[in-house]
Amino acid sequence: MSGRTFAQKAIARAAGLPDAAVGQIVDVRPDLVLSHDNTAAIAAMFYRLGLKKVRDPDRLAITLDHAVPPPTPRHAQNHAEIRRFVAEQGIRNFFEAGRGICHQVLSEEALVLPGQMILGADSHTTHFGWMGAFGAGVGRSEVLALWATGEIWLRVPESIRIVLTGRLPPGVTTKDLCLRIFRDLGADGGLYRSVEFAGEGVRHLSIESRMGIANFMAEFGVKNAYLPPDDRVFDWLAPRRARRTGEPIEAVRERIAAGALYPDPDAPYEAEYVYRLEDLEPMVACPHSVDHVRPLREVAGTRIDMAFIGTCTNGRLEDIAAAAEILRGRRIAPGVRLLVIPASREVLEEALRRGFIQTLVEAGAMIGVPGCGPCMGNHMGIPAPGEVVISSGSRNFRGRMGTPDAEIYLASPAVVAASALRGVITDPREITSGNTDAPGAE
Residue 172 to residue 323: CA distance in whole angstroms: 13
CA dihedral 418, 420, 423, 428 (to 10 degrees): 10
Residue 407 to residue 415: CA distance in whole angstroms: 16
- Check: CB of residue 300 under 8 Å from CB of residue 411: no
Residue 236 to residue 206: CA distance in whole angstroms: 11
Predicted pLDDT at 398: 84
Residue 233 to residue 231: CA distance in whole angstroms: 5
Give the other-Cβ count within 10 Å of 221's Cβ: 18
3-state secondary structure of 407: strand
Radius of gyration of the chain (CA): 21
3-state secondary structure of 409: strand
Residue 107 to residue 346: CA distance in whole angstroms: 11
Residue 385 to residue 372: CA distance in whole angstroms: 21
Task: Encode the chain (442 residues) as per-residue pLDDT tens digits.
Answer: 689 999 999 999 999 999 999 999 999 999 999 999 999 999 999 999 999 999 999 999 999 999 999 999 999 999 999 999 999 999 999 999 999 999 999 999 999 999 999 999 999 999 999 999 999 999 999 999 999 999 999 999 999 999 999 999 999 999 999 999 999 999 999 999 999 999 999 999 999 999 999 999 999 999 999 999 999 999 999 999 999 999 999 999 999 999 999 999 999 999 999 999 999 999 999 999 999 999 999 999 999 999 999 999 999 999 999 999 999 999 999 999 999 999 999 999 999 999 999 999 999 999 999 999 998 888 888 999 999 999 999 998 888 888 889 999 999 999 999 999 999 999 999 996 544 333 232 3
Predicted pLDDT at 439: 28
**What 8-state DSSP symbol labels residue 333?**
P
3-state secondary structure of 339: strand
Residue 282 to residue 416: CA distance in whole angstroms: 11
- Check: CB of residue 197 under 8 Å from CB of residue 301: no
pTM: 0.95
3-state secondary structure of 69: coil
Predicted pLDDT at 433: 52
Residue 252 to residue 391: CA distance in whole angstroms: 38
Query: Which strand ranges, in their side-by-side order, compose the sheet holding 94-95?
Result: 94-95, 60-63, 32-35, 117-120, 134-137
Greatest Cα-to-Cα distance within the chain, rounded to the nearest angstrom: 67
Residue 279 to residue 277: CA distance in whole angstroms: 5
Predicted pLDDT at 378: 81
- Check: CB of residue 34 under 8 Å from CB of residue 61: yes
Assign 3-class secondary structure to 74-118.
Answer: HHHHHHHHHHHHHHHHCCCCEECCCCECHHHHHHHCCCCCCCCEE
**β-pairing verdict for 158-165 and 193-198:** parallel
CA 153, 155, 160 angle in degrees (round to 5)? 145
- Check: CB of residue 426 under 8 Å from CB of residue 416: no
